Chains A and B, each alone.
Chain A
Amino acid sequence: GAVVSQHPSRVICKSGTSVKIECRSLDFQATTMFWYRQFPKQSLMLMATSNEGSKATYEQGVEKDKFLINHASLTLSTLTVTSAHPEDSSFYICSARENRGVNYGYTFGSGTRLTVV
């Protein structure tokens, strides 16, 4: 089945540094990928929709300059948390949907636990 690989699984960084998270669709092409953030004991919150070859669409309240998204190819989207601060510590998950016919399946990565110290 479809597989989405997300790396790293866990990262600890110092406040003020930038962190890049990769999301790859391993065996399918995805023109659209999604980035979510999850706070403890809360639902996943959609941050942005990443579109291959164009600018990402950000949800209301999500800072575009803070969370840079690049979808350079049909199999790779990256999320860069710039100038990270402790409040950015969270669980980030990407997902991708296959581009084939009528398919409602969304495949998720295993998530990235970001801790900013």
Chain B
Amino acid sequence: GEDVEQSLFLSVREGDSSVINCTYTDSSSTYLYWYKQEPGAGLQLLTYIFSNMDMKQDQRLTVLLNKKDKHLSLRIADTQTGDSAIYFCAESSLNSGGYQKVTFGTGTKLQVIP
């Protein structure tokens, strides 16, 4: 079945850029997402990208998609302590029955060191 993989942990210094990587296996993905989960909170949708796009930028966030390699990354510029959280990569596609199927990665815990 479909698989989405992420590294479990990333540590960066405040002010540096963070890059969180994700790989997926489903070649029919239509959307790819990045979610943020702060301690004790639910998942918050940060951004998403259509599968026919290469890049999307939103303020400090830059999403890069290499569809050929099935590789998605999230770059956070000028990382702040408030960015410390778990970041989930997810991909969605339409199943043969025509309904949405979403597969999430296991999450990358980002630790920002002051």
Interface residues in chain A, defined as those with a beta carbon under 8 Å from any beta carbon in chain B? 1-2, 9-10, 36, 42-46, 59, 91, 93, 95, 103-108, 110-111, 113
Contact = CB atoms under 8 A, between A and B. Distances in A.
Q: Is the interface of B mostly helix, strand, loop or mixed?
A: strand
A10 B99 contact: yes
B97 interface: yes
B42 A44 contact: yes
Nearest to A104: B109
B35 A43 contact: yes
Contact of A43 (B8, B43, B99): B43
B55 interface: no
Q: How large is the interface on B (under 10, 10 to 19, 20 to 34, 35 or more residues)?
A: 20 to 34
B53 interface: no
Nearest to B37: A106
Q: Which 5 A-B pairs have the closest CB atoms?
A: A46-B42, A105-B106, A108-B104, A43-B45, A104-B109
Contacts of B97: 9-10
B107 A106 contact: yes
A105 B8 contact: yes
Contacts of A44: 35, 42-43, 45
A56 to B, nearest CB: 15
A59 B109 CA distance: 23
A78 to B, nearest CB: 20
A59 B42 contact: yes
10 contacts: A1-B106, A2-B106, A44-B42, A46-B41, A104-B8, A104-B9, A105-B8, A106-B104, A108-B103, A110-B102
Interface string B4-48: 010011000000000000000000000000010100011111000
B56 interface: no
